[in-house]
Chain A
Amino acid sequence: MVAAGAAASLGLGMTACGSDSAQQGPADKANLIMTIWGSDNDTKTYQQRADAYTATHPGVKVTVKNIPVENYDQQVDTMIAGGSSPDIIEVNGTDGPALASRNVLVDLGPKIQSSGLKPEDTVDAARVKGYSLKGKQFALPDRGGNLVFYYNKTMFDKAGVPLPKAGWTWDQFTEAAQKLTIVQGGKTVQYGVAIDDWPNAVQSVVRSFGGTLLNDSLDAPAVDSAAYRKGLQTYNDLATKLKVSPTLKDYADFGQNVNRDALFAQGKTAMIWAGLWDIPDFVKQGLSFGIVPPPSGAAGNPTMLAFGTGLAVGARSKNQDAAWEVVRYMFSPDGQRPIVTNQEDVPSAKALLSEWEKGLPSGVTYDELAKASDQVFPDQTPPQINQIEKQVQQDLYPFFTGSATVDQATSTAASHIKGILAGN
Chain B
Amino acid sequence: MKGTLSGRKREAIAFYLFMLPWIVGIVFLYAVPLVASLVLSFTNWDLFNSPQWVGLRNYTNLLTGEGTSFWLALRNTAYYAVVLVPLNLALSVAFALLLNQPIILRRWFRTAFYLPSTIPVVAVVMLWSWLLAPSGVINSILKLVGIGGPAWLVDPAWVKNGLIIMGVWQLGGGVVLFLAALQSIPRHLYEATMLDGAGAWRQFRAITVPMLSPIILFNLVNGIIGALQVFTQVYVVTQGHNAGALMMVPFLYDNAFEFNKMGYASAIAVLFFVMIMLLTLIVLRWSRRWVYYEGEVT
Also in contact, A393 and B134, with CB within 8 A (given A1-B229, A249-B151, A424-B68): no
Measuring CB to CB, which residues of chain B are less than 8 angstroms from any residue of chain A?
A: 29-30, 32-34, 36-37, 40, 45-51, 61, 65-69, 125-126, 129-130, 133-136, 151, 153-157, 229, 231, 240-244, 246, 249, 252-254, 256-260, 262, 265-266, 269, 272-273
In the bound complex, CA of A386 to CA of B260 (Å): 10
Asked whether B151 lies within 8 Å of A419 as measured between CB atoms, the reply is no
In the bound complex, CA of A408 to CA of B144 (Å): 35
Among A6, A81, A249, contact of B37 (Cβ-Cβ < 8 Å): A6
In the bound complex, CA of A423 to CA of B62 (Å): 11
B153: chain A residues at CB < 8 Å are 252
Among A3, A249, A422, contact of B154 (Cβ-Cβ < 8 Å): A249
Asked whether A248 lies within 8 Å of B154 as measured between CB atoms, the reply is yes
A394: chain B residues at CB < 8 Å are 240-243, 246
Asked whether B151 lies within 8 Å of A401 as measured between CB atoms, the reply is yes
Whole-angstrom distance from the CB of A376 to the nearest CB of chain B? 27
In the bound complex, CA of A114 to CA of B259 (Å): 34
B30: chain A residues at CB < 8 Å are 3, 7
In the bound complex, CA of A248 to CA of B153 (Å): 11
Whole-angstrom distance from the CB of A105 to the nearest CB of chain B? 11
Interface status of A113 (Cβ within 8 A of chain B): no
Q: Which residues 121-153 of A sit at the B interface, judged by CB distance below 8 A?
A: none
Interface status of A416 (Cβ within 8 A of chain B): yes
Asked whether B252 lies within 8 Å of A416 as measured between CB atoms, the reply is no
Closest residue of chain A to B155 (Cβ to Cβ) is: A401
Asked whether A103 lies within 8 Å of B246 as measured between CB atoms, the reply is no
Whole-angstrom distance from the CB of A95 to the nearest CB of chain B? 10
Asked whether B36 lies within 8 Å of A9 as measured between CB atoms, the reply is yes
Asked whether B66 lies within 8 Å of A419 as measured between CB atoms, the reply is yes
Also in contact, A398 and B256, with CB within 8 A (given A255-B130, A415-B67): no
Closest residue of chain B to A12 (Cβ to Cβ) is: B47
Also in contact, A74 and B257, with CB within 8 A (given A3-B33, A16-B47, A253-B133): yes
Known: A5-B257, A13-B51, A102-B46. 17 other contacts (CB 8 A): A1-B253, A3-B30, A7-B33, A9-B265, A9-B266, A102-B48, A102-B49, A252-B133, A253-B133, A394-B241, A394-B242, A397-B241, A397-B242, A401-B154, A419-B66, A419-B67, A424-B66
Whole-angstrom distance from the CB of B54 to the nearest CB of chain A? 10
- Classify chain A: how many residues form its interface, as a range: 35 or more
Asked whether B243 lies within 8 Å of A98 as measured between CB atoms, the reply is no
Closest residue of chain A to B60 (Cβ to Cβ) is: A424
In the bound complex, CA of A398 to CA of B157 (Å): 9
Whole-angstrom distance from the CB of A405 to the nearest CB of chain B? 14
Among B29, B133, B157, contact of A3 (Cβ-Cβ < 8 Å): B29
Interface status of A158 (Cβ within 8 A of chain B): no
In the bound complex, CA of A401 to CA of B238 (Å): 13
In the bound complex, CA of A81 to CA of B256 (Å): 14
B257: chain A residues at CB < 8 Å are 5, 8, 74
Asked whether A5 lies within 8 Å of B269 as measured between CB atoms, the reply is yes
Interface status of A241 (Cβ within 8 A of chain B): no
Whole-angstrom distance from the CB of B125 to the nearest CB of chain A? 8
Asked whether A387 lies within 8 Å of B259 as measured between CB atoms, the reply is yes
Q: Give 1 or 0 for each of A395-424: 1 = CB within 8 Å of chain B CB.
A: 101100101000000000001111110111
Closest residue of chain B to A80 (Cβ to Cβ) is: B48
Q: Give 1 or 0 for each of A1-30: 1 = CB within 8 Å of chain B CB.
A: 111011111101100100000000000000
Interface status of A272 (Cβ within 8 A of chain B): no
Interface status of A77 (Cβ within 8 A of chain B): yes
Whole-angstrom distance from the CB of B154 to the nearest CB of chain A? 5
Whole-angstrom distance from the CB of B84 to the nearest CB of chain A? 17
In the bound complex, CA of A6 to CA of B244 (Å): 26
Interface status of A104 (Cβ within 8 A of chain B): yes
In the bound complex, CA of A277 to CA of B51 (Å): 41
Asked whether A424 lies within 8 Å of B65 as measured between CB atoms, the reply is yes
Asked whether A415 lies within 8 Å of B242 as measured between CB atoms, the reply is no
B256: chain A residues at CB < 8 Å are 5, 8-9
A419: chain B residues at CB < 8 Å are 65-68
A/B interface sample: 11 pairs, CB < 8 A: A3-B33, A6-B33, A13-B36, A250-B134, A252-B129, A252-B153, A395-B243, A397-B241, A401-B151, A416-B67, A424-B66
